Amino acid sequence: MTFRYCPLCGEKLLPKPIGDEGEVPFCEKCGRPFFPFSYPCVICLCIAEDGDVLLIKQSYGIIRYVCVAGYIKAGESAEECAKREIAEETGLEMLSAHFLYSRYFEKHDNLMLAFACRVRKSELQLSGEVSEAKWFTPEEAEKALFQGAYGIDMLHKWREMQNGAVTQ
């Protein structure tokens, strides 16, 4: 997102050279720059103690299985967001989170922070955002996700980590 008006006072922002950043929208009245940003969010590959993977279908039109995901709230760490989103959407307790990678998702202007999250397998309590949730073996999960999905990349990365491979 790029600001054209100051979100604090409403004045029109003017381009101003800021260090190595080049020209940045600047508010003369408030005396501060407003750097463009993407919306940060987490995407969580939920893995139970037995190795099963939980995938969900969202209630707002997505017909394929996906990983739990959500926007990071102000003041919240990415790990706190992952724990909150998993609990909100599925009712499950996150035991641990392992950062996998970050990627920019242009379609929604998101910086996606991918985590493999260990969860305690228990009765699911789905939020209104989730129409369905199902446990899969890793092999089944790969088939349930659409090709090119972050979930497949996350699953591969998690398997590499489990096998001791280190990749970027």
Residue extents of the structural domains in the chain: 1-36, 39-162
Which pLDDT does position 162 carry in this prediction? 84
The model's pLDDT over 47-85, given as tens digits with 9 standing for 90+, comes to: 999 999 999 999 887 789 999 999 999 999 999 999 999
Which pLDDT does position 37 carry in this prediction? 84
Classify burial at 154, counting beta carbons within 10 Å of its beta carbon; exposed 0-12, middle 13-18, buried 19 or more: buried
Which pLDDT does position 149 carry in this prediction? 83
Instruction: Phi first, then psi: give them for residue 55, nearest 5 degrees.
Output: -120, 155
- Decide if 157 contacts 167 (C-beta within 8 A): yes
CA-closest candidate to residue 118, choices 152, 66, 83, 153: 83
Percent of the chain with pLDDT over 90: 78
Which pLDDT does position 106 carry in this prediction? 87
Please provide the average confidence, as pLDDT, over all residues in the chain. Answer: 93
158: amino acid identity, one letter: W
Residue 168 pLDDT exceeds 50: no
Residue 123: both structure tokens together:
């009765």
Report the DSSP pairing between strands 39-48 and 110-120: parallel
CA-closest candidate to residue 150, choices 103, 98, 107, 106: 103
DSSP per-residue codes, 63-106:
-S-B-EEEEPPTT--HHHHHHHHHHHHH-PEEEEEEEEEEEEEG
Which pLDDT does position 4 carry in this prediction? 95
Q: What pLDDT band is residue 166 in, cutting at 50, 70 and 90?
A: low
* CATH 1.20.1070.10 correct for 39-162: no
- Decide if 53 contacts 138 (C-beta within 8 A): yes
Which pLDDT does position 165 carry in this prediction? 57
Q: What pLDDT band is residue 101 in, cutting at 50, 70 and 90?
A: very high
The mean pLDDT of 96-103, rounded to a whole number, is 96
Residue 153: both structure tokens together:
């990349």
